[in-house]
Structure 1
């Protein structure tokens, strides 16, 4: 993303959006792992309504914005679809994310909001997220380096 096209409001709006998101998670109760675990055990479906409401607002926003605006308001970049292949990495990564969500009862965004409402033991889960992200990055850099050395042809 080019910083030349960005409006000076880009960073403040990003922080404001994160703050509103965090307050929304806290007010809705979704920053509490107990609520999420109750949802995953089919005992409380409040999370379904929170996620559904977010999906509806996001869907409408993207439908309207991509039809009526030629560029994103904050970055000045054109709207375009980012297509990703559905491969083994997506399945493995999604599975690990799902297991982590089920075990801890929290996803990354809600984990930070959970700290904001005083749930300090969740810092263990956040540390695990950072450790997992680091391990994945390390593995991926080693794996891509190994793959590159195998595909290189000798220059003799």
Structure 2
């Protein structure tokens, strides 16, 4: 399984030391909370998501209300804790994205993601939450998602290699 000892784990990003047991527990708790929220709000139902995306047909605004509810809960926490640069519970600093440029990779990735989401009505988070239903199709979706991520990662590495002219270096 995993290491359940009370050891320190050092992360390369900013050399953060955290208690790995506490961090793993918080990750598990957060994932379960997120999953339960998605399930209770029926956002794991592809028909519900496709209904939200069908703005010119039988539009279902329920997903918008779920997103709005999440923003209302998160926004005060963001302004009181993260924006004021308070210390996180399990680390020395928050790691927020520093890249703000909208580039070609972001647009292409967003389009591909949107096509997949529109075709299936399944987003990665709800897909993981849907494992609890035990439907074979969700396992195929998740397997396909993982394979797609691996192929995209390999493709990105090839592109970076070609751009940096370091393909033949050992």
Give TM class, smaller chain.
Answer: 0.7 to 0.9
- 1:19-63 deviations in whole A, cap 9, x for unaligned? 011011111111111111111113211111011111222222111
Q: Which residue of the partner structure matches residue 93 of structure 2?
A: 77
- Structure 1 position 30 matched with structure 2 position 43: yes
Give unpaired runs (5+ residues) of structure 2: 1-12
CA distance in 1, matches of 2:133, 2:76: 30
Q: Which residue of the partner structure matches residue 153 of structure 1?
A: none
CA distance in 2, matches of 1:119, 1:37: 19
The alignment's TM-score, normalised by the length of structure 2, stands at: 0.79
1:84-99 to 2 correspondence within 5 Å?
84-99=100-115
- 1:58-112 deviations in whole A, cap 9, x for unaligned? 2221111035553112212256562332100010001111111111101100001
Give unpaired runs (5+ residues) of structure 1: 151-156
The alignment's TM-score, normalised by the length of structure 1, stands at: 0.85
CA distance in 1, matches of 2:97, 2:150: 28
CA distance 1:110–1:78, shift in 2 (3 Å): closer
Q: Is the 8 A contact 2:82 2:94 kept in 1?
A: no
Q: Give aligned pairs, total.
A: 152
- Structure 1 position 131 matched with structure 2 position 131: no
Q: Give the number of the structure whose residues are more often strand, by fraction.
A: 2
CA distance in 1, matches of 2:102, 2:48: 31
CA distance in 2, matches of 1:134, 1:21: 25
Q: Which residue of the partner structure matches residue 154 of structure 1?
A: none
C-alpha RMSD of matched pairs (Å): 2.3
Q: Is the 8 A contact 2:16 2:92 kept in 1?
A: no
Q: Is the 8 A contact 1:31 1:111 kept in 2?
A: yes
User: Larger RCO: Structure 1 or Structure 2 (Cα < 8 Å, ≥ 6 residues apart)?
Assistant: 1
CA distance 1:141–1:133, shift in 2 (3 Å): same
Q: Is the 8 A contact 1:72 1:79 kept in 2?
A: no
CA distance in 2, matches of 1:69, 1:90: 27
